[in-house]
Amino acid sequence: MGIGADIIADDWHAALAALAWQVDLGATEPLGDAPVNRYEMVDPVRAAVPVVPAAPAQLAVGQDPVAVAVAMAAAATTLKELQAALAAYDHCELKRGARSLVFADGNPRARVLILGEAPGSEEDREGRPFVGRAGQLLDRMFAAIGLSRTAPDPAAAVYITNVMPWRPPANRDPEATEIAMMRPFVERHIALVDPEVIVVMGNTPLFALTGAKGILRARGGWQTAFGKPLLPMTHPAYLLRNPAAKREAWADLLALQARLRDGAAG
């Protein structure tokens, strides 16, 4: 190999290492939202002024962000009002780093409410839950037992939302304090939709609704939350990483199908 080829190879490996470093720092998108004109003349005076980020909303002395969430959620009497309340809630730092408020998708009259963890990058872009690879798998899973987010018939429909309406940076797990702030909104969301069955997918919704962790131990075993039957299942993203676990997920889906057929309260 010649000298020129060695230089090219070195540059390639250096670029790859630099890209890996950026990914470790949490960069997930190579392009910005707006194009940059590198030839544009910039006013040096204006460019020298630092950009100061908006300060987070200040709580009154002694005010608890969870108590604020409880009050705002309780005041919502419709799903539209609940979405507006979430949009107005300024005490969760995740909101400042997210592009979209990801509220819900599907039929709000559905018998089944699916509760996920948090939006990913594709959900953040589209503003809808479960639209990436994991969401596509979720749609196929529930279609296998005759349920769909697009079904107009409540008996054949699902309604989908997440514990966290905003994407955590680098898709990290939500923190306990963040989950606590969102729990009043989740509880109100469930009350307004009033499903017959709740399916929680992953550790975050299991913890939010039951206070317990360990989805691999809990999956497939019926529990109760807010007076409703609750079925824990592994998250579709876990199934993509561990295809062998799809056998257990299929058993869970069949259990859900049987519960719906026999009556959710049975």
- Helix/strand number for the chain, H first, E second: 12, 6
What is the pairing mode between strands 228-233 and 197-201? Answer: parallel
- pLDDT at site 88: 98
User: Helices 65-75 and 176-193 meet at what angle, rounded to 10?
Assistant: 10
According to DSSP, residue 51 is labeled: P
Helix (H, G, I), strand (E, B) or coil at 204: helix
Q: pLDDT digits over 187-216, tens only?
A: 999 999 999 999 999 999 999 999 999 999
- pLDDT at site 13: 55
Give me the tens of pLDDT residue by residue for the chain, a chain 266 residues long: 555 555 445 565 555 555 554 544 445 555 544 454 544 544 433 333 333 344 445 555 558 999 999 999 999 999 999 999 999 999 999 999 999 999 999 999 999 999 999 999 999 999 999 999 999 999 999 999 999 999 999 999 999 999 999 999 999 999 999 999 999 999 999 999 999 999 999 999 999 999 999 999 999 999 999 999 999 999 999 999 999 999 999 999 999 999 999 886 55
d(CA 117, CA 204): 5
What pTM, to 2 d.p., does this model score? Answer: 0.77
The second-level CATH assignment, the architecture, of 65-262 is 3-Layer(aba) Sandwich (3.40)
For 3, 7, 15, 24, 30, the CA distances from 11, given in Å and listed in that order, are 12, 6, 6, 20, 19
Q: pLDDT digits over 228-247, tens only?
A: 999 999 999 999 999 999 99
Helix (H, G, I), strand (E, B) or coil at 81: helix
d(CA 113, CA 106): 9
- pLDDT at site 7: 46
In this structure, the chain runs to a length of 266
- pLDDT at site 63: 81
Q: Give the number of other Cβ atoms within 10 Å of residue 84's Cβ.
A: 15
